[in-house]
Amino acid sequence: MFLQEQHLLYELAYTLVVKENFNLLHINKEDNEIWLEKVEHKKSKVIRLLHKGFDWKNHLKTDVARVFQKTKAIKKLLTGKTIDIYNVYISTHQPVDSWEELKRPMLLKEKNPPVMNVYYISLNDPGDEIARLKKDIDIQHFEFNVVEDDQEAETMIQQYKLKIASILYAKQEAVKSVFSFGKPFLTYILIALNVMMFAVMIAAGSSTDPEHLVRFGAKFNPLIIEGEWWRIISSMFLHSGFIHILMNMVALYYLGIIVERIYGSWRFMWIYLLAGIGGGLASFAFSVYVSVGASGAIFGLFGALLFFGLIHKKIFMQTMGRGILTVIGINIAIGLTIPQIDMSAHIGGLITGFLAAAICYLPKKHHIGIQVVAALSYTGIIGALVIYGLNIW
């Protein structure tokens, strides 16, 4: 019966992926275990298929506990706000003692816990459990027929394996291609320019003296009002003190590489400059102090990643989404508590960086409507900041 059980495992997995639009999360060929997910109405339907039998209910309960732990481990790969687990066992025989109590939905005593349903499909009597599974998951396209001929069953198993493997490979290649569109050489050039300007300022006297910063091109509202608008851009390449440039260049290194790989070099450059201008003008409009630094442009890179997450929600959340959101939150919280940090530049850069990414859009993709709205929004924000800054100061 082993081949028939294998046939059921892979036929069910293939049907769920190809005909029911489930995504492959993980395949363990050695343990004959397959995990799949489908998101509906912000809920993750997670199906775990396992070709393994259990002689006793307690052994089955132990494995159920393991599935709860594994679900916690892969939670970051799931995109739904709530999780329903459909834990499916495939074997020749059911446990010797009654396991009926395990058919009731199970959940852990924790906040927003996953809910687990257990199904034990025995090939001696598969009908009831398959029907229960189809009803609970709402499967429309699965009808299992036992293949008596072992050679035919093995041939079909290999075909299903190849098809599932090709789907998984295509998915992995698609994710890889998203992060390898461009090579991050402009990131290194920007870092070099910032470090070079810092070295020149140190050699000329100081990187922290406000008057010295203004002479080199810092954002200084009175001179900008007199017509020196170029300071909005020049201030992006100046830094006040070693800690300031170190923190910004580390951030630019990590964020720049990611954004340049995703968007390509020229899109990355436009996002960086447009966000830097937006952050500089926000500082001009809302802060009277002398200001320097690449922070506005760097926050614009955060904005570009948020736009990427809007287009590729699943990839974003499975790779870096939670980390990016956490870092943005921490930086905003720190900025609100430390007066010396120019939060107007940070927020301005974040918003205009998001809009700049929407204007450029993603490589090999476009959406004219979104791009036009983003361009108009960016222009409107820039115009409003200039008018407000000129009037208030």
User: Which residues are annotated as catalytic?
Assistant: 295, 346
Which candidate, 142, 18, 138, 29, places its Cα nearest to that of 84? 138
Q: Supply 146's token pair.
A: 């036992």
Q: Supply 42's token pair.
A: 């912000």
Q: How many residues does the chain have?
A: 393
Q: Please answer whether residues 64 and 119 qualify as being in contact, where contact means their C-beta atoms are separated by less than 8 angstroms.
A: no
Q: Which residues pair with 106 in a beta bridge?
A: 116
Residue reference for tokens 């995703």: 262
Which candidate, 27, 39, 12, 16, places its Cα nearest to that of 313? 39
Residue reference for tokens 């208030």: 392
Which candidate, 45, 43, 42, places its Cα nearest to that of 17? 45
CB crowding 115-134: b at 16 or more within 10 Å, else e: ebbbbbbbbeebeebbeebe
